[in-house]
Amino acid sequence: MDKKKILVIHGPNLNMLGQREVGHYGAETIDDINRRIAEKATAEGLIVDFFQSNSEGRIVDRIQSAIGEFDGLIINPAAYTHTSVAIRDAVLLLDIPVVEIHLSNIDKREAFRHRSLIADVVSGRISGFGGKGYLLAIDAVADALTNADRK
Ligand code: DQA
């Protein structure tokens, strides 16, 4: 059987991890996090690809181009979580497991961060566990794909 392919999308300002509000987001850089994700994915027998953009339109384009190419999506839309109908609509185009992830616990922060425009169109959300959350997300997608195969 072909290996399943997972796409990880990092939204705006996540390229600055390690230098950015370390109290909220931790000291790991995006490369550190991606390395850990890649190790975990390989151990699970999955192929993983990464995309980061500070631009809403480029994120929409990447989600659209994932159709038919990827079996699962892990997405941290960062600030666009709270504002982007366009990213929500793009996620709705997908028929694969989608995990919403945040490094910080968005429900413990400012009120404007409590609202996620994708929360009700994803498989589930992981929030508040820093970089480790991405590893939990890989597990969640791997389980969802295994269970889908059993159907
Ligand atoms: C974030 C939370 C968002 O509110 C914020 O705008 C980010 C990162 C997180 O990972 O905790 O940029 O998505």
Global pTM exceeds 0.85: yes
Q: What percent of the chain has pLDDT over 90?
A: 94
Ligand 1 and 125: CB distance under 6 A: no
Residue nearest to atom 12 of ligand 1 (CA): 78
* Least reliable range by pLDDT among 10-14, 61-65, 81-85, 145-149: 145-149
Gap between the Cα atoms of 102 and 59, Å rounded: 16
Q: Is residue 15 classed as helix, strand or coil in its secondary structure?
A: helix
Residue of 134 and 147 predicted with greater confidence: 134
**What is the model's pLDDT at position 150?**
53
CATH number for the domain running over 4-74+84-150? 3.40.50.9100
Mark out the alpha helices in 2-131 (DSSP H runs): 22-25, 30-43, 56-65, 85-91
**3 CA to middle of ligand 1, Å?**
30
Atom of ligand 1 nearest to the CA of 101: 10
Mean pLDDT of 21-25: 92
Domain boundaries, the chain: 4-74+84-150
Mean pLDDT of 113-128: 98
What is the tens place of the pLDDT at every residue in 30-77?
999 999 999 999 999 999 999 999 999 999 999 999 999 999 999 999
Ligand 1 and 102: CB distance under 6 A: yes
